Amino acid sequence: MKTIDELVEDGVAGRRVFVRADLNVPLDGETITDDGRIRAAVPTITRLAEAGARVVVGSHLGRPAGAPDPRFSLAPVAQRLGQLLGREVAFAADTVGDSAKATVASLGDGGVTLLENLRFQGGETSKDDAERGAFADRLAELADLYVGDGFGAVHRRHASVYDLPARLPHAAGGLIATEVNVLKKLTADVSRPYAVVLGGAKVSDKLLVIDHLLERADRILIGGGMAYTFLKAQGHEVGSSLLQEDQVPAVQEYLERAKDRGVEFVLPVDVVGASEFPDLKAKAPAHPATVDADAIPADLMGLDIGPRTQELYASKLADAETVFWNGPMGVFEHPDYAEGTRAVAQGLLDSSAFTVVGGGDSAAAVRLLGFDENAFGHISTGGGASLEYLEGKTLPGLAALED
């Protein structure tokens, strides 16, 4: 896989370089509520611009239905990107139309433009190779070189991720190179004990990664909504908590396999909950109750791990040499249910382990709860991509960058 360093050494001055970034940030109207992914894209864009390239940045945002939708416009992102770069970012009002062509044509050496949301074109995400390829052909007309740097999208077989690099000389950006090097530390020559913390809502989203980690991890700590399916698999009632009943047999099988392989599964011993889901916008007091995990009443919805579980999980992280964390322990957006996630984040920091926060809601929680991002070994920009890498899958966007 050619690197951006090699690309710059070969010379990029005056050449149009398409950078596929991942600027899929959360928006509240036109307000960016977490700019972590934009900040992660800055080093590669800066490197190219300072080398005299004419940088054309492409990204998706949200899930528009293959047509323009003002709710998913990248216009606010262009403004924030310009602030972080310390240089003007020209915004093209379309992806491959007249605005894009004119904006790219007007770039001088070191100039940067951001195209409108790539998913406003149906060809970006099409499952039809010809339709996707036709869109990639139009994108290729805007550039001379390609740099893949949107790690959060490399698990997608999309036109700008998979098809476009086949049409242009290509290289991996600094962000992707860093992400791959970090993930290799979680799959090969792992320093042990190796602890994995998995949370989030649905156990079905994590089954494949659990399957893969059973061959590699020493202990797996479970939290979030998915914990209640594990508790149910152990024979406990879970009240009105999130439950994927159809996944109970699979979870029971994993618990048995873990026992046979000597992998320690650690489940909550107490939970914090309430009779209903909290209002996340008002953040009004939710009157939570703490109960033992094997005695959840019928009218209680588990929304966080409890204080004894927080202490237990911290103890299971204390002696680890490697920790991978993906998924919050509860509804961290509400202050009454954020302590479990806070405790896990602090447990990572208190350990001497190489720590990796696996993107998505975990990374958002780190920022929302006020932790210093630089204190962790690595914060990934791609939750889904990280998980699929750890599942052992071939990621289309990485395969496309290989020589």
Of residues 360, 382, 383, 397, which has the active-site annotation? 360
Q: Which of 87, 101, 185, 202 is catalytic?
A: 202
Active-site pick, 111, 224, 340, 384:
384
Asked if residue 54 belongs to a known ligand binding site, the reply is no
Any catalytic annotation for residue 202?
Answer: yes
- By the 8 A CB rule, do 384 and 326 touch? no
Active-site entry in 15, 16, 37, 316: 37
Length of the chain as a residue count = 403
388 is in an annotated binding site: no
2 annotated to bind ligand:
no
* 192 assigned to a ligand binding site: no
Q: Residue 111, annotated ligand binder?
A: no
Is 264 part of any known ligand binding site? Answer: no
Q: Is 185 marked within a binding site?
A: no
The answer to whether 152 is a known ligand-binding residue is no
Query: Is 5 labelled a binding residue?
Result: no
Active site residue 262: no
- 225 assigned binding-site residue: no
Query: Catalytic: 360?
Result: yes
Instruction: Give catalytic status of residue 37 as yes or no.
Output: yes
Residue 360 in marked binding region = yes
According to the annotation, is 119 in a ligand binding site? yes
Binding residues: 22-24, 37, 60-63, 119, 156, 206, 302, 333, 359-362
Output the known binding site for ATP: 206, 302, 333, 359-362
Binding site feature residues for substrate: 22-24, 37, 60-63, 119, 156
Active site residues: 37, 202, 360, 384
Please give the annotated binding residues for (2R)-3-phosphoglycerate, written as ranges: 37, 119, 156
